[in-house]
Amino acid sequence: MLNAKNNSQSIRRAKFAGSWYPKDKYVLEDLIEQAFSALEEQSPPSTCAVLPHAGISFSALGMAAFFQNLPPQTERLVLLGPSHTTSLDPDRLVGGNFTGYATPFGNVDGFSLSSVVRGFDQAIEREHAVEMILPFIAYMNKSREKQISYSPALISKVTNGFVLAELCDRLVSDIGRKSLKSGETVLVASSDFTHYGSRFGYTPYSRLSLGAQKERVREDDLVLARLLAAGKSEGALALYNEKKPTICGIAPSVIISEIARRLGLAGSIASYYSSYDIAPSSGDSFVAYCTILWS
């Protein structure tokens, strides 16, 4: 059963329910179940992932690829996300002091990690990357014997490979290598991929047709995604710093990629699509979403 307590000041409210996804739990449940039904093939149980964080109408398909076969032993989910609204110092993970997270399905219990700097409640409350995964966690908890608790953290930037190694060392030590290897704790990086078009101020292929622009963006994204999946985290970070694509969660993604490599996990790209594929428009702007899973 979901934790039903709702009177604590330490419960993070569902800030984006009713705007970024349905507030009505039955409509939301139907949206999530449609995403599971739309999957063309079943993914293997995965303990590390990069998942999208757009509004659930857009991100549900990418999320479902991970949650459809979540290991039954999983009891904790740690999410690393970018900060879209709060300016943060680079090279450190920050989090809030919440003991629970509200969703239309009920509350999800929270937990804290000592390697994360606490006290950034406002940043956690404002961040949509923190919230978009929560309806999926709460939906899974409705039928799971082992309830999943949640711990989000934000990071703005990883400046170099030495910092990357230190961050990974601290996280693995804090969570426990055994817990990660067994799947008791799963790690998720929250990131949308290229934000393309005049709306985002990123149009390197503007002289091409829209179809050709989309294909070039896809090629660029998949080059970086394959580096992440292969555990070549420093290579992915170097490519990002060279090309400067509008990928919002590169810092969380390289951390998860490096930890997956250290755990000896095999990565693969489970899905890639764009907002244009979900809701075609006549404009030139779209956002790409890529799900990477490590098993």
Rounded to an integer, what distance in angstroms lies between the CA atom of residue 21 and that of residue 80?
21
**Cα separation, 104 vs 121, whole angstroms:** 21
Position of tokens 């091409």? Answer: 208
Nearest residue to 97 via CA among 79, 122, 77: 122
Domain 44-294 is found in CATH 3.40.830.10:
yes
**Distance of alpha carbon 225 from alpha carbon 35, whole angstroms:** 22
| Structural domain boundaries in the chain | 44-294
Round to whole Å and give the CA distance between 46 and 294.
5
9 has pLDDT over 80? no
51, 135 Cβ separation under 8 angstroms: no
C-alpha to C-alpha distance for 11 and 86, rounded to whole angstroms: 20
Name the packing angle between helices 233-243 and 210-229 (round to 10°). 150
Q: Is the pLDDT of residue 5 over 50?
A: no
Region 218-245: mean pLDDT is 97
C-alpha to C-alpha distance for 183 and 189, rounded to whole angstroms: 16
Q: Give 8's pLDDT tier (boundaries 50, 70, 90).
A: very low
E-strand ranges in the chain read 11-12, 48-51, 76-81, 100-103, 106-109, 149-154, 185-190, 195-196, 267-274, 286-294
- d(CA 150, CA 167) in angstroms, rounded, equals 19
**Token digits of residue 130:** 């923190």
Q: What is the pLDDT of residue 141?
A: 97
Q: What is the CA radius of gyration of the chain?
A: 18
Q: What are phi and psi of 262, to 5 degrees?
A: -65, -30
Q: Are 158 and 167 in contact (CB under 8 A)?
A: yes
pLDDT band at 41 (very low <50, low <70, confident <90, very high): confident
Bridge-based pairing state of the strands 286-294 and 48-51? antiparallel
**Residues 179-189: tens digit of each pLDDT:** 999 999 999 99
CA quadruple 129, 127, 240, 118: dihedral sign: negative
Cα distances (Å, whole numbers) of residue 206 to 212, 214, 243: 9, 10, 16
- pLDDT by residue (tens digit) across 93-105? 999 999 999 999 9
In the sheet with 100-103, reading across from the earlier edge strand, the strands are: 11-12, 100-103, 106-109
Looking at residue 3, what is its pLDDT? 38
Retrieve residue 203's tokens.
């149009």
Q: For residue 144, what pLDDT is reported?
A: 93
Nearest alpha carbon to residue 228 among 290, 166, 157: 290
Residue 181, CA distances (Å) to 176, 185, 202 in order: 9, 8, 39
